[in-house]
Amino acid sequence: MKSADDKESIIITATELKQNLGKYLDFVEQQNEVVITKNGKKICKLTPYTTDIEQYFLLRERALDYQYVGKKVSYEEFMEIYEKSDLRMEFINGEIYLLSSPTVVHQEILARLFLVFNEYFKDNKCKVFFAPFDVHFRKKDIEEPDVMQPDLLVACDLEDNINEKGKYMGTPTLVVEILSDSTRSKDMIEKLNTYMLSGVKEYWIVDSKQEQVGIYAFKSCEIDKYKFFEIGDVAQSFIFKGLELNVSKLFLNLSI
């Protein structure tokens, strides 16, 4: 099967298609595409039939192309691609990012965080969720939302914010991201900006390499205050009184 890079595409009129249907079907059978126009306007496309497994790899190639080439897509285009794919993706500032499988250390840290957060919120209306869990973040003064999967989040607005498909459409009060080499820059810049502008009140950044936890509090879509906690410290939430995390215990005996 040709890759997306090898595929050829031609543009023809509707009249040409009617007159040479067999010719163009043969062309498409060779894993090429035919774009049909009418009155000078593109109206449809003939593409090769693909099995489910072929479609999976074609979607993967296209998603990778979006990520590495930096092609901008709309929110609607992203949702169409995402709903047809089994890959984990995020949509930030009009670009698609593929999410790699988490490491053992990442999952160990996530499990420890969940235990602490779940214990604190067990008798609270706020609920704790962890990835994969899609959230549509609507940034101030920006029409299209970002769609991301925070490693862990606290949602206090579940009522009236779950759609007919059972998807959460609200804004988390608190989000947590565990840094990795591949996501460090994105988590500390793009995601921080999205969370700040979308109404998230607190953002925790967990850095296993530096063995520290950073906490940012947002107010009126701006950074209100922040603090970094290291080994020997107890990280404390700015907005949830009594929500604490022993940094030493968080990083103790990890499978590094």
Domain assignment present for 241: yes
Residue 10 near residue 35 (C-beta atoms within 8 A): yes
Is there a single domain that holds both residue 112 and residue 93? no
Average pLDDT, whole number, for the chain?
Answer: 85
Is pLDDT of 44 > 90?
A: no
Burial pattern 25-53, b for ≥16 Cβ within 10 A else e, equals eebbeebbebebbeeeeeeeebebeeeee
Is there a single domain that holds both residue 70 and residue 128? no
Domain assignment present for 133: yes
pLDDT of residue 7: 62
Domain count, the chain: 3
Domain assignment present for 192: yes
Which of the four pLDDT bands, split at 50, 70 and 90, describes residue 20?
Answer: confident
Is there a single domain that holds both residue 139 and residue 246? yes
Is there a single domain that holds both residue 156 and residue 239? yes
- Which are the contacts of 7, defined by CB distance < 8 A and separation ≥ 6? 31, 32, 33
Residue 42 near residue 36 (C-beta atoms within 8 A): yes
Which of the four pLDDT bands, split at 50, 70 and 90, describes residue 86?
Answer: confident
Alpha-carbon distance 104 to 192, whole Å?
24
Which of the four pLDDT bands, split at 50, 70 and 90, describes residue 66?
Answer: very low
The CATH number for 239's domain is 3.90.1570.10
Is there a single domain that holds both residue 206 and residue 179? yes
Alpha-carbon distance 153 to 171, whole Å?
10
Domain assignment present for 56: yes
Is there a single domain that holds both residue 151 and residue 91? no
Residue 185 near residue 177 (C-beta atoms within 8 A): no
Domain assignment present for 83: yes
Is pTM beyond 0.75? Reply is no
Can you tell me the mean pLDDT for 74-103? Answer: 85
pLDDT of residue 164: 83
Is there a single domain that holds both residue 149 and residue 165? yes
pLDDT of residue 22: 84
Is there a single domain that holds both residue 118 and residue 75? no
* Percent of the chain with pLDDT strictly greater than 90: 45
Domain assignment present for 256: no
* Percent of the chain with pLDDT strictly greater than 70: 88
Task: State which residues form the domain around 42.
Answer: 1-49
Neighbour order of strands in the sheet with 222-230 = 127-130, 152-155, 174-178, 202-207, 212-219, 222-230
Can you tell me the mean pLDDT for 68-82? Answer: 75
Is there a single domain that holds both residue 240 and residue 216? yes
Is there a single domain that holds both residue 94 and residue 73? yes
Is there a single domain that holds both residue 70 and residue 172? no
pLDDT of residue 234: 96
Tens digit of each residue's pLDDT (9 = 90 or more) over 48-65: 765 554 554 455 555 444
